[in-house]
Amino acid sequence: MDKPLYLTFDDGPQPGSTDVILSILAEYGAHADFFMIGRQVAAHPDLAAAAYAAGHGIGNHTYHHPSLCGIDHATMRAEVSATREVLGALGSGYLRPPYGYSDLHT
């Protein structure tokens, strides 16, 4: 019985790593989910678009990558909304909190 393996990558897109990862995934016919930082997407929209075009999932990893624990609701909403805006149609609607940290307000 085959066992699934789920690959996820955070903190991109980043030239020199995201493009290499995309190449390796294509070589093996594998798919992954990329949780992208909004400011990185704004700086490297071509890499985000390439990941999406290759059929990979694109998730929200906030705009500036702050810990979401203990920050006020308005700041949290701004971080998520700014990334949602820069991702546009590429975004899946999923959020991965930076550092994996969350609390009851996240």
Q: Which of 73, 70, 75, 72 is nearest to 101 (CA)?
A: 70
For 10, phi then psi, to 5°, come to -110, 165
pLDDT at 1: 73
Domains and their CATH numbers in the chain: 8-100 (3.20.20.370)
Q: Which of 78, 12, 15 is nearest to 41 (CA)?
A: 12
Q: Which of 52, 47, 39, 50 is nearest to 85 (CA)?
A: 39
| pLDDT tens readout for residues 52-78 | 999 999 999 999 999 999 899 999 999
pLDDT at 95: 97
What does the alpha-carbon distance between residue 48 and residue 41 come to, in Å, rounded to a whole number? 6
pLDDT at 25: 99
Q: CA-CA-CA-CA torsion for 92, 96, 98, 101, nearest 10 degrees? A: 160
Q: What is the pTM of this model?
A: 0.94
